[in-house]
Amino acid sequence: MNMTTLEEKKDLIMKIITQKNSDSIIFETLLLASRTAERGLNYCNVEALDGYSDNLNESREDIIPILKEMIDLGEIDTTMMTPQLRLMIVMSSVAVKTIEKNNDKKNSQRLVAPVDTS
């Protein structure tokens, strides 16, 4: 095997790896954007999208095949989905979920504050 053949095989393997997880990463990006929009509106006391990200997450099984098809048709460019970018998106999504969980925990603790009976 010559160097050109090895480079072509490497490029093909990297493309397969990138496309294999791209649909999930793109879904996580959409979910992150929906959570950001939802929380932004909640911050402004507008609850029009309250629960949107949860509903979107429940529709994951319907959305993922559509994203795969869009990737296969080239409508979504996955060439920029480097491992670093994918890691950043997933970690950002986990951070947002953690913030939501902690905020919910704090809010529930405020609701169940101890009552002074003295």
Predicted confidence (pLDDT) per residue in 75-109, tens digit: 887 777 777 877 888 788 888 888 878 887 887 77
Q: For residue 97, is it within any domain?
A: no
The confidence band for 112, taking pLDDT boundaries of 50, 70 and 90, is low
Residue 62: the pLDDT is: 93
Q: For residue 107, is it within any domain?
A: no
CA distances from residue 46 to 50, 98, 106 in whole angstroms, order as listed: 8, 22, 20
Q: For residue 109, is it within any domain?
A: no
Q: CB neighbours (10 Å) of residue 36? A: 13
Q: For residue 32, is it within any domain?
A: yes
Residue 17: the pLDDT is: 63
Identify the domain containing residue 49 by its residue range: 14-92
Q: How big is the CA angle at 28 (ends 58 and 38), to the nearest 5 degrees?
A: 70
Q: For residue 88, is it within any domain?
A: yes
Residue 59: the pLDDT is: 92
Q: For residue 86, is it within any domain?
A: yes
Q: For residue 82, is it within any domain?
A: yes
Residue 115: the pLDDT is: 58
> How many domains does the chain divide into?
1
